[in-house]
Amino acid sequence: MPLDPPKSGESRDNYLNYCIPIEVQSGKEVDQAAAICNSYYDKDKMSKIKNTSEKVMARVAYNEKFRGINLAGLEDACWDGYEAIGTKDMDGREVPNCVPIKE
């Protein structure tokens, strides 16, 4: 994660301009770095919502936006008993291809 969360009132573009290079420098691909930084920005904005129903709706929107995207990489992308073997296209998005682990 970048050293600092978005500053109060900071635009998404400004935040992404310094967050993405930090993530790329740590070894992430550019697309993954962009997804990670966008998720940081969205989570920070969600954390400031006080109204419960607005918070729930923001969380639903966040989950839909990042559904199927493992922001940490493929190592922990799948649930217990499954492993990620590459990626696949689902509804126009690249997602981990989780298959059962063969014993």
Place of tokens 């954390």: 47
Longest dimension (CA), the chain: 52
pLDDT digits (tens, 9 = 90+) for 52-89: 888 888 888 877 777 766 555 666 667 778 887 777 77
- Phi-psi region at 51: left, alpha or beta (left = phi > 0; alpha = psi -120 to 50): beta
Q: What percent of the chain has pLDDT over 70?
A: 86
Is the pTM above the cut of 0.85? Answer: no
